Every structure is written in C-alpha cells, then in structure tokens.
Amino acid sequence: MAPWVDKLRTFPKERFLFGPSPVQRLPRLTAHLGGAQVWAKREDCNSGLAFGGNKVRKLEYVVADALLQDADTLVSIGGVQSNHTRAVTACAAATGLKAVTLQEAWVPYSPPLYDKTGNILLSRLMGGDVRLNSEGFHIGPKASLDVAIRELHEKGAKPYWIPAGASLHPLGALGFVDFVVELAEQETALGLFFDTIVVCSVTGSSHAGIVVGAVLEGKGRKIIGIDASGKPKNTKEQVTNIARNTLALLDPAASLPENAVVLDERFHAGIYGIPDEQTKAAMRLGAQLEAFITDPVYEGKSLAGLIHLVQSREISPTSKVLYVHLGGQPALNAYSDQF
C-alpha cells in the first residue's frame, strides 16, 4: 500500500457509510450523448443516515475528531435547504450528540414551504436545533457561527464547530481522498479505468479531495469541477487551498500541479441555488433516460456540465468518464414549483 494511503488510515474515522458507494453504468445516457462512456459513482446511495450524500462521507473523519475532543454538540451552517446541515444533524443523531444548525438565506428564493420541507424538515425530524437567519451566501467563514458557539459555551455545552460543507475543516477533504482509494479498488474489480471524473464544486472539499487522491495515485486522471456557486473565482481559490493543505497532511513532500484544479464555470446559471433551463433540462434528461434523479442546486448543474462536455467532444469519445453523484435529492420538494 502506498505511504500516503497508510497515512490516510491513521486518521480516526467513524463508520457512517454502507461501504463503497456503487459504481453504475449509464447506458441509455451514454447512447443518447453519443460520445464517451458515462458511469456514475452514487454517493447519494452511500449511507443509511438520512439519505446519505457526500457530506456524510466527509463527516466520518470530522465527527470522529469531535468525539475524540469529548464534544457534545455539533454546530454548523448552511442555506435553508442545506444538504450539509441535514447530514451534520444525522451524524449527530447517530452518535448521540446534539446538533445546532444555522440556516441562512443563501438563495433568493422563497416559495411556499421552502423553509418547512426538504432537508430542513429532515433536520427538525431528527431533533436538530434549527435556527433560521437572514445572512446571504458566501463560501468563507461565518461570524454567526462564532456567536452560536459562544452561546453554547456559556450554557456549559461542549460545541464542536464544522464550517459550511465541512470544507474549511482541516480534515474536510479526507473523505474524498478515501473516495479515490475506494474507486481504484472498484476499477480493479470491474476491469475499468476512469480517465476523467466530473464533480460539482461549491464549498470545494469534495472536489479538492478527489484532486488530491488523483495527484497522489499518479495515474493521470483528469478531474473536472463544475462550478455551482456562481462565484467561481472564490471557489477555485478555495479548492486550491484545501487541496494544498490536504496534500500537506498526507505527503508533505508532494506538491499540487499547476493545472490540477480545473473548474468549469459555464453551468452555474449565474447564481447559487437557482436552476436555469439548462439545469432543468439536464435533470429531466437523466430522470427520463435512467431514472437518475438529481437536484436543482448541485447535481442538476454538474449533470448539465457533463452532458455538454460529452456531446461537444470536449471529453474524448474514447474516454470512460465518471460522474460523481454527490446527493442532494431531499431538496427537490422545496423546488416543486420549478417543475
């Protein structure tokens, strides 16, 4: 086993996943697009904790650290329909911890029941302390998080803060480095190699972790991030910083190649959290060809990117391309008026 994999294995980790997430061939979508062979790795099917998703994979490492520090309350932040805060609340419930989540007005969109259905409904059902506030979207640190932590300390709790998406947490990308190790084992069993991986990118640690895994394994995969933040300059900077910091954790001698972080900014629809017609068309195509369900905030936008890249032959027709389905479907009910 490579030294960097041995190092990864030294970090404490909870077991929230069923095991390796499935790798699924998408033959009808492949035939329709007429180019590269398209497969998906189904992070949306990775866990029994409140519909799973990429955030649960990340939280295996983050919650293990919280437990080592004797925390009793996980504190985190996201939009009203945040997949991440739903996953934090789920992992808290599964480990006997409490959860406080700050749900901010990241999306300028408020149809009836937007703050009462989807992800936020699940967080309330799991007993989370859900707190709505009006702060808008950006991917950096949040002052309101500091206020909540101070309040919990004053009440005698032992809070453990988790930044949005777990992305700026020092361990936030390790789950997706592990994703690459897991994928390599699945490729051996399938007799395949995915030369191109397409993944959605907003707060950035899923994207960064896959980049780090690909750099360390050294097989020449291309990782294409599809921006869904609407703020691609900030997102690319954050992905790059997370990747460098994670590389330093696993192999201090390694460096991030200049072209390792690729972020395509053509599919974010101009704003975080709102789908455009291209997004909705991609969602319908995946659903109608493969019963492949995506959401309007993240995966609909990255699926639109995949569709364009394959149809335009920007991804070679001889490629085997892996689309990383990060989850997010619980938010769909909150967007029913879009469909």
Domain 3-51+170-338 and domain 70-166 have a common topology:
yes
What are the backbone dihedrals phi and psi of residue 97, each rounded to the nearest 5 degrees, phi first?
-100, 170
Per-residue pLDDT tens digits for 160-214: 999 999 999 999 999 999 999 999 999 999 999 999 999 999 999 999 999 999 9
Active site residue 82: yes
Per-residue pLDDT tens digits for 223-240: 999 999 999 999 999 999
* Helix 277-290 × helix 299-311 angle, to 10°: 80
DSSP annotation string for 143-165: HHHHHHHHHHHHTT--EEEE-GG
Which of the following is catalytic: 21, 47, 76, 82? 82
Q: What confidence score (pLDDT) does residue 147 get?
A: 83
> What sections of the chain are H helices per DSSP?
3-8, 27-33, 54-68, 83-95, 119-125, 143-154, 174-190, 205-217, 232-250, 277-290, 299-311
Higher pLDDT, 243 or 135: 243
Beta carbons of 322 and 106 less than 8 angstroms apart: no
Whole-angstrom distance, CA of residue 127 vs CA of residue 125? 5
Q: What is the 3-state composition of the chain as percent helix, strand, coil, each rounded to the nearest 5?
A: 45, 15, 40
Q: What confidence score (pLDDT) does residue 26 get?
A: 98
Residue found by looking up tokens 């504190």 in the block = 75
Q: What confidence score (pLDDT) does residue 34 get?
A: 97
Return the structure tokens found at 279: 């997004």
Per-residue pLDDT, averaged over 47-71, amounts to: 98
Whole-angstrom distance, CA of residue 95 vs CA of residue 89? 10
Whole-angstrom distance, CA of residue 264 vs CA of residue 305? 8
Whole-angstrom distance, CA of residue 76 vs CA of residue 99? 8
Query: Domain residues of the chain, as ranges?
Result: 3-51+170-338, 70-166
Q: What confidence score (pLDDT) does residue 137 get?
A: 67
Per-residue pLDDT, averaged over 34-38, amounts to: 98
CATH architecture entry for 3-51+170-338:
3-Layer(aba) Sandwich (3.40)
Among 3.40.50.261, 3.40.50.1100, 3.40.50.2300, 3.30.1340.30, what is the CATH number of 70-166?
3.40.50.1100
Per-residue pLDDT tens digits for 252-274: 999 999 999 999 999 999 999 99
Quick one: which of 153, 209, 152, 154 has its CA closest to 180?
209
Quick one: pLDDT band at residue 142, thresholds 50, 70, 90? low
Mean pLDDT of the chain: 96
Return the structure tokens found at 133: 């506030």
Per-residue pLDDT tens digits for 309-332: 999 999 999 999 999 999 999 999
Quick one: pLDDT band at residue 141, thresholds 50, 70, 90? low
Higher pLDDT, 145 or 118: 118
- Residue 313 CB contacts under 8 Å (≥ 6 apart), including other chains: 35
Q: SS3 for 41?
A: strand
Per-residue pLDDT tens digits for 289-313: 999 999 999 999 999 999 999 999 9
What's the start-to-end Cα distance of the chain, in Å?
48
Q: What confidence score (pLDDT) does residue 139 get?
A: 55
* pLDDT of residue 280 exceeding 90: yes
Q: What confidence score (pLDDT) does residue 110 get?
A: 87
Q: SS3 for 142?
A: coil
